[in-house]
Amino acid sequence: MTPAEQTLIRLLRRGERARSKGGGERAALAMTPASCPEYGRLESLEAREAFHARIALAEREGAIEVERARFGEERLLRLRLADLDRLAAHLGIRLLSDRVGEAAAMLDTATGDWPIVASVLEAWRLGRKVRGSGPEAARDLFDATTVAGDRIHEERDERLLRRESIRLFDDSKRLERLTPWLDLLLAGDLAPSGLSREEVWASLGLRRAPQPMLVSGVGTVVLRGEATPATLPLVRPYLGLPIEAVETVAARARYVLTIENLASFHDAAAAVSLPGHADGLLIYTAGMPSPAWRALYGRILRALPTGTAVLHWGDIDEGGFRIAASLASVAADAGRPLLPWLMSPSDLATRPEGCTPPTPATLRRMQHWARRAGWASLASGLELDPLELEQEALAPVFPMA
């Protein structure tokens, strides 16, 4: 691309932004080093003449108007946009408005079910990228709505990510490439959710490999698919249960504690001798739990004694509180409040290594999801003492009687 073409494209983009804001398309570009560095960097007479000739060609076609120095050395002072469509045709570029129009037509059926799609289209109209992409990503977003709409509200068995990708798209890695758009749909926000790729997939019941529910405690597993329900006892340090094979877990536990990360679950399950552990039920969520996992969790909560406390221990970050809000919704449906465990700054006697301050935007999202989990006082505590911390930095501690 020549320096003159770079300059004309910059003028074109200014015209597109002006048109998208309803202010007409009369845009201008001063030929100063700050506004047009390509012009200032021309070192030879030959390069300068080539630049002037390319600009003059666009001028003759009625795409731009040119203001030149009146005396002395030939020099360009300012370019003004005369006709946005002519300039686009001159450069062989499709206008943003045309590309967004095509994207809107493709996504028309999705906007009703996914309001965030309208926000994406509006951002594209204003020339902004969403998740690093412009309207050329409309097909990816459409495919993501198809996948999410098929699975997000279903309590289906978990499926293997690449096998499902082949089934839907005849491409084993297509679903992985759609992850930013799946995250956008799940979050309902233009900003990333804070969940890892694996947690985004898990939200839709998709896993790289089969993921059992890991449970530690004393009780009985009630299996599904039998005329007379079959049972088996829980064992220490934990038992791995295929989610689709389990109806519920019957346990006379004083509390049930869900744990977000695997290392922390293993540490907790191994700490049999610690006070408060023997009469509790520990469950590993594998990050963001899938719809099938959440359905089983709801059945477990409904089978627990009335006085059993329900708690969650996860990362003190945006993703951790988003996971907590998901669990709190299930707990509320089961008639149980979900309580935070080791997730408030006030729970930390000292600041372990790994504490970092969140950005103001991240803090606001952490507080939002903490409130969605029903933890208003914790959200207020984050305002006074903002921090992020992965739960692996903490040793397991259990609720006392």
Q: Are 190 and 284 within one domain?
A: no
Q: Are 253 and 381 within one domain?
A: yes
DSSP state of 144: H
Using CA atoms, how far apart are residues 228 and 243, in angstroms rounded to an integer? Answer: 19
Can you tell me the mean pLDDT for 62-81?
A: 87
Give the number of other CB atoms < 10 A from CB of residue 401.
7
Asked if the structure places residue 104 within a domain, the reply is yes
For residue range 301-337, what is the model confidence (pLDDT) as tens digits? 999 998 899 999 999 999 999 999 999 999 999 999 9
Which segments of 137-277 does DSSP mark as H helices, in order? 138-151, 161-169, 174-177, 179-187, 197-203, 262-270
Is 278 or 107 the better-scoring residue by pLDDT? 107
Q: Is residue 226 over pLDDT 70?
A: no
Tally of domains in the chain: 3
Can you tell me the mean pLDDT for 244-255?
A: 91
Q: Are 188 and 271 within one domain?
A: no
Can you tell me the mean pLDDT for 72-79?
A: 83
Q: Which of 72, 91, 110 is the last residue of a domain?
A: 91
How far is CA 382 from each of CA 318, 363, 379, rounded to the nearest angstrom? 12, 8, 5
Q: Is residue 43 over pLDDT 90?
A: no
Lowest mean pLDDT among 42-51, 68-77, 204-213: 68-77
Is 252 or 370 the better-scoring residue by pLDDT? 370
Q: Are 86 and 187 within one domain?
A: no
Q: Are 253 and 384 within one domain?
A: yes
Report pLDDT for 244: 86
Q: Are 86 and 100 within one domain?
A: no
Q: Is residue 382 over pLDDT 70?
A: yes
Mean pLDDT, all residues of the chain: 91
Cis peptide before 242 (omega within 30 of 0): no
Q: Which of 235-244, 274-283, 296-305 has the highest mean pLDDT?
A: 296-305
The C-alpha R_g of the chain, in whole angstroms, comes to 29
Q: Are 326 and 357 within one domain?
A: yes
pTM: 0.74
Lowest mean pLDDT among 208-212, 266-270, 355-359: 208-212
Asked if the structure places residue 399 within a domain, the reply is no
Domain of 135 in residue numbering reads as: 96-207
Give residue 117's pLDDT band: very low, low, confident or very high (50, 70, 90): very high
Task: Give the tokens for residue 194.
Answer: 């804070």
For residue range 132-176, what is the model confidence (pLDDT) as tens digits? 999 999 999 999 999 998 776 655 678 899 999 999 999 999 999
Q: Is residue 343 over pLDDT 80?
A: yes
Q: Are 346 and 234 within one domain?
A: yes
